[in-house]
């Protein structure tokens, strides 16, 4: 069976999340640098094909509560992300947020335009 447009759009969303998480996990971050890092992540991932939008929120209050020496490393526990893919008139909305101590990436919705 050939993959459907819907399958391809969901696959593209997964690729974007894999790139985002594994490219930026471990980046030094502080509450002062969070805004610029959010923009850098968004702009980097938005360069990829079929990426309609990326919204990254680094949870600065949580980050500040856990910093001992000026900064820490970026991990999933400090991130909430939404990525929207537009592939051949199929829109996929995906999110990443902590669930049961794990940065879970999931499909929120898929719709034909």
Q: Where are the domains of the chain?
A: 5-112
3-state SS class at 66: helix
Cα 43 from Cα 65, distance rounded (Å):
27
User: Nearest 5°: CA angle at 55, between 52 and 61?
Assistant: 175
pLDDT band at 69 (very low <50, low <70, confident <90, very high): confident
Do 92 and 99 contact (CB within 8 A), yes or no?
no
Q: What is the mean pLDDT of residues 59-76?
A: 92
CB atoms within 10 A of CB 7: 14
pLDDT at 47: 96
- Separation of alpha carbons 111 and 113, rounded Å: 6
Q: Model-level pTM? A: 0.93
* Distance in angstroms (rounded) separating the CA atoms of residues 76 and 74: 7
> 58 falls in which pLDDT band (50, 70, 90)?
very high
CATH no. of 5-112: 3.30.1300.20
């Amino acid at each position: 069976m050939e993959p459907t447009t819907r399958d391809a759009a969901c696959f593209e969303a997964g690729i974007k999340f894999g790139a985002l998480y594994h490219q930026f996990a471990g980046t030094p971050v502080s509450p002062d640098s969070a805004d610029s890092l959010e923009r850098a992540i968004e702009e980097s991932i938005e360069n990829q094909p079929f990426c309609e939008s990326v919204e990254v929120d680094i949870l600065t209050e949580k980050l500040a509560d856990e910093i001992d020496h000026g900064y820490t490393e970026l991990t999933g526990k400090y991130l909430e992300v939404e990525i929207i893919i537009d592939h051949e008139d199929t829109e996929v909305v995906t999110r990443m947020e902590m669930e049961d101590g794990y940065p879970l990436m999931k499909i929120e919705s898929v719709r034909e335009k």
